[in-house]
């Protein structure tokens, strides 16, 4: 199944915030010692900044926003690291009712085209260790672990 990917606009805010809430609730339930339940995950001000910076797209199905992806450029230079320009997925969310239908894959396809067209050195993301569904999506897509954050509780 395919949706239509387009640049987000100001009118998308409520639908995007709904999707961001769905993901944040998962995180807050998995790790209440780290994440707070909150009424706003992505402020409208920050959302509009993402639009202005052209770093957010939405995926529509039947005139409803069912997916969102926020991506950033990270320039790494100096010190012990090689100079690199990384395309970083800051957030990827698909409506909980639409997961498993290929929409996450479609959003990733969009970003991979951008990554190749703009000749980035890498495409990276972080994923919550408890989000097995997301990890499965990323692994099937070809992402591999780069580093692992560990903690002692």
Number of domains the chain is built from = 1
- Residue 67 sits in a domain of what CATH number? 3.40.630.30
Classify residue 153: in a domain, yes or no.
no
Classify residue 30: in a domain, yes or no.
yes
- Report the C-alpha gap between 73 and 55 in whole angstroms: 9
Q: Domain range holding 30?
A: 4-141
Classify residue 69: in a domain, yes or no.
yes
Task: Tell me the per-residue pLDDT of 19-65, one tens digit each, with 9 for 90 and over.
Answer: 999 999 999 999 999 999 999 999 999 999 999 999 999 999 999 99
Task: Tell me the per-residue pLDDT of 54-74, one tens digit each, with 9 for 90 and over.
Answer: 999 999 999 999 999 999 999
- Mean pLDDT, all residues of the chain: 96
The pLDDT value given to residue 1: 67
* Helix, strand or coil, per DSSP, at residue 44: helix
* Helix, strand or coil, per DSSP, at residue 141: helix
Classify residue 101: in a domain, yes or no.
yes
């Amino acid at each position: 199944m395919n949706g239509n990917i387009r640049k987000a606009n100001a009118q998308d805010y409520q639908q995007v915030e709904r999707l961001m809430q769905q993901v944040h609730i998962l995180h807050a339930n998995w790790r209440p010692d780290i994440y707070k339940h909150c009424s706003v995950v992505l402020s409208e001000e920050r959302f509009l900044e993402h639009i202005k910076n052209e770093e957010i797209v939405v995926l529509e199905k039947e005139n409803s926003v069912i997916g969102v992806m926020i991506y950033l450029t990270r320039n790494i230079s100096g010190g012990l690291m090689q100079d690199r320009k990384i395309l970083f997925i800051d957030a990827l969310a698909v409506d909980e009712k639409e997961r498993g239908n290929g929409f996450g894959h479609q959003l990733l396809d969009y970003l991979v085209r951008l990554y190749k067209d703009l000749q980035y050195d890498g495409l990276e993301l972080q994923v919550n260790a408890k989000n097995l569904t997301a990890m499965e999506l990323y692994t099937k897509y070809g992402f591999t672990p780069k580093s692992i954050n560990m903690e002692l509780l």
